[in-house]
Amino acid sequence: MRSYDATRFVVRLACFLPLMGGLLLIDWIGEQPPVRRRLIGALDAAADALVAGKTIWIRANMLDVKAVWIEHSPIQPEVIVLGSSRVTQIPQSWFGSRSLLNASSLAGDFLDAVATFEACLETGKTPRLVLLELNPSLASADKAQMAPALARYFERALLRFRIFPPVFFSGPLTLEGIRWDPLLFSRHAVWKVSEQLAPGGVLLRPDGTSAWNATESQQTADEVEKTAISTMQHLDPQHRRWRMGSQPGWFNRSILQAFLDDLHARGVRVVVLLVPVHPVAFDYYRRQGGYDDAWIRNEMAGRGIAVVGSYSPAMVKATKEDFFDDVHVRPAVLHRLLREGGIVE
């Protein structure tokens, strides 16, 4: 009886092998240059426009756009900015003669930063300085998959670190080779050369900085505060965990440690940037356990890595006039923090 059950199990398992083989084949085909160009031709064209020094308006996922832009860029920047939308406004002009690649993205987190740096590394763009913006949770709790253009870079980074994902169904079995933003195949414009911000999209400049509706808002400080309070009261579960947690999981923390070790071995200087939160938002999130930077400061102190800024607005002398929403500070504050940290003049 046991032999029969074992045989039936093996037969059932074998039935899945063609399916797995088919998924691997589809993913492999999607990664081949001719197919990839057909799938993401719009991203290639957008990247070429950026390389040509043009500002563009995009609707596609910025993580995908910036990954392809990095592949097309001919420069080896001295400074690379990695992080989320909170640092996408750091421009080339602050760094004088030093070349800058602002590779931060809307909706980006630390895992995206690792993948983005791997893209820089593999395309010959290793910098001298990395400005690394961190959230204390490091990565979104509900982040199931990487942006397609970054997925392979992330996998190869983990292989270099000798770290393997804890979930079996990752990598090729997620069809990352063809899992592109549906907007890329729509009849409507995915991008265009433009200096004007249109609804539903983002302006992306040749140095990697960006602007979106919130950055262009003309709300007063009191109106921003009111909006921030409303935002806090209506957070979805994913953003609640992102903003009210201050400890990363063991897997993500081990990636951070391996990433920092790798940068050190390459002689790349790292500066960690902590961006302040709106005063009313900081008070609220901090009471819930969020935006505690203790472990980050301890980790960086042990490595001799400078930490610039603070999540606490009081610590960096930021007031409600310095914010355009609950977690985004105006560029002048970022400039001041980097100047006080000796990063820019």
Q: What is the number of domains present in the chain?
A: 1
Q: Note the pLDDT of residue 144.
A: 56
Describe the strand order of the beta sheet including 306-309 as a list of residue ranges: 100-102, 79-82, 129-133, 269-274, 306-309
18 part of a folded domain: no
Give yes or no for a contact between 152 and 68, defined as CB atoms under 8 angstroms apart: no
Max mean pLDDT among 41-50, 139-148, 184-193 falls in 41-50
- Residue located via tokens 């302040």: 276
pLDDT digits (tens, 9 = 90+) for 72-109: 999 999 999 999 999 999 999 999 999 999 999 998 99
Domain residues for 278?
32-340
Give yes or no for a contact between 148 and 253, defined as CB atoms under 8 angstroms apart: no
Percent of the chain with pLDDT over 70: 80
Which residues are bridge partners to 82 per DSSP? 132
17 part of a folded domain: no
Mean pLDDT of 26-35: 50
Strands (E), the chain: 56-58, 79-82, 100-102, 129-133, 191-193, 202-204, 210-211, 269-274, 306-309
122 part of a folded domain: yes
Q: Note the pLDDT of residue 322.
A: 97
The torsion region of residue 41 among left (phi > 0), alpha (psi -120 to 50) and beta comes to alpha
Q: Note the pLDDT of residue 81.
A: 98
Least confident of 9-18, 94-103, 193-202, 304-313: 9-18
CA distance 293 to 315: 12
Average pLDDT of the chain is 86
Single pTM value for the model: 0.86
Q: Note the pLDDT of residue 278.
A: 97
138 part of a folded domain: yes
12 part of a folded domain: no
- Residue located via tokens 């209506």: 234
Q: Note the pLDDT of residue 341.
A: 96
137 part of a folded domain: yes
In this predicted structure, the answer to whether residue 143 has a pLDDT above a threshold of 70 is no
CA distance 194 to 86: 23
345 part of a folded domain: no
Name the token pair of 325.
């929403």
Which CATH number covers residue 198? Answer: 3.40.50.1110
**DSSP label at 182?**
G
Please give the single-letter amino acid code of residue 324.
F
Phi, psi angles (nearest 5°) of residue 131: -90, 115
pLDDT digits (tens, 9 = 90+) for 213-266: 888 888 999 999 999 999 888 887 777 777 888 999 899 999 999 999 999 999
Q: Could you give the angle at the alpha carbon of 19 between the alpha carbons of 18 and 25, nearest 5°?
A: 85
